[in-house]
Each structure stands twice: as structure tokens, then as C-alpha cells.
Amino acid sequence: MGRILLGTSGWDYPEWTGRFYPRHTVRDRLRYYASRFASVEVNSTFYRLPPVSVAESWARRTPSEFRFAAKFPQSITHDRRLVGTAEELRRFLTVLQPLRAAGKLAAALLQLPPSLKFEPATVRAFYESLPADLPVAVEFREPSWLEPASFDLLREFHLAYTVVDEPMLPIRLEITAPFAYVRWHGHGREIWYDYTYRADEIAAWVPRVRALAENARDVYGFFNNHFRGDAATNAEQLRDGLGLEPPPWAPRLG
């Protein structure tokens, strides 16, 4: 059985105060978050790359066994659409270096735009540009990517298929790399992420995550339904459903 690490997509949400973060007592949200979860997905790198010193701070402020995933910049996926990305990729890898050096990088998440169709030659060329030792999870957002040739490329380059729970694509428990990667977006009517998973929905994911863990070294899973702190609540509910303990460094309450 592989290791299962659950968390949320992001941690710096003011509206989580009072539901996840205690009121008026948390100065460092990342430190507090890392006392409750063993991993987190960094969304901010998609919008703007931070200085390297910020990534160094992330590594310094978290326990040695804590793990980060970080999204590829939108300049690579949405603006250049995987073509001519050498300079953007170099800058992204520079920011990731402190996490890699600390042994804290779980994966880099390549979230593709919903308008981008699968084109084998373009995809192969981009995958070839990635460092062979960089763990990468690829999130499809358009149905043409769900064809066998696309999955064959993932397996060839040892990139993880991102299992998604969202309105537009089916749930597929594909394992294409040594690790598995899951994202729960929600099923909100206007905004996917504005959604609270019910207890029965969480329970339905218990056997799915276990099935992934039976065939992968590690399973990383992140809830993206951040409104009201639902992501943190649902992640803890799934962790409990799987019978997992909180991180070993978490405070023990009597």
C-alpha cells in the first residue's frame, strides 16, 4: 500500500479564519496549516512566480516530511500553450529548486487549458523539454486528451495522470507514473469550487483512493473547493474515512 498524503489547493485564504485557522492567534498560516496536513498544492505559481526567497521560506517553515506540489505558470500552459516555453520553464525550475533541494517537492502540476486539444507532436516535444527527474502530474481539461495515445505519452515519460473530480470529465483511476495525483474541484453550479462535499461523496472516494494506493508508491490528493474552508474540512473527512492518522508532528490534543 502506497503512502497517501492529502491536503488542499492553497492555504492563504482569509475566509478560513474562524473555521480552519483560529481567530486572532495565527500569524503564520503556512506553519499552522503544516501542523494539520502533510502536503499542500501551491496555486500562486500559476499566476505569478514568487522570488526564490519565498520558496526558500516555504521549505524552512515546514517539517522535514512535509510535501509541496506547485502549478506550472499559466504563461507555459495557457499563453504559449506548451510551445516555445524554454525561458518560462527555466524560471519555474529556479523557483522550485529550494523545494527540490530540501526533498519537499511532491510534483509540479501541469494544468492544461480547456481550449487546448491534444496534438501528439506538440505534446511530445514539450514532455521532452522537461527534466527527466522532475515529478510532473498532468491535468487534462479537454476530452481529446483522454485517448490512448495521450496516456501512452504519459507512461513513456513517467508523468502522472491527474485524477479529477469535476463536472466536465469522467473519473478515471489511471496510474501512469510511480505516484498518483488527485484533485477534487467540486460540482458547484456557477463556480465548481464553491461546493461542499457530502459525507456520501467523501465515502465513495475511500475505495478509489485505496485502489490508487495499491498501485502507486505515493498518492497525493488536494481539495480545491476552498470557499468557506470546505477544502480543509473535506480533506480531513476523507483522511478520517481512510483511517489515516494526522501528521506525526501534529499537536496532540488531550
Residue 77 has pLDDT above 90, yes or no: yes
pLDDT at 209: 98
Mean pLDDT of 224-249: 95
Instruction: Give the CATH number of domain 3-241.
Output: 3.20.20.410
Residue 251 has pLDDT above 80, yes or no: no
Count of H-run helices and E-run strands, the chain: 9, 8
Helix/strand/coil for 120: helix
Interatomic CA distance for residues 177 and 219, integer angstroms: 11
pLDDT at 250: 80
pLDDT at 182: 98
Contact between residue 1 and residue 213 where contact means Cβ atoms under 8 Å apart: yes
| pLDDT band at residue 25 using 50, 70 and 90 as cut-offs | confident
Interatomic CA distance for residues 30 and 44, integer angstroms: 14
Residue 253 has pLDDT above 60, yes or no: no
C-alpha cell at 130: 522537461
Mean pLDDT of 195-199: 98
Contact between residue 42 and residue 11 where contact means Cβ atoms under 8 Å apart: no
Mean pLDDT of 47-66: 97
| pLDDT band at residue 249 using 50, 70 and 90 as cut-offs | confident
| H-only helix segments in the chain | 29-34, 44-47, 52-60, 74, 86-101, 120-129, 148-157, 199-213, 230-241
Q: What is the pLDDT of residues 88-97, one digit of tens each?
A: 999 999 999 9
Mean pLDDT of 13-29: 91
Q: What is the mean pLDDT of the chain?
A: 96
Q: What is the pLDDT of residues 128-184, one digit of tens each?
A: 999 999 999 999 999 999 999 999 999 999 999 999 999 999 999 999 999 999 999
pLDDT at 252: 54
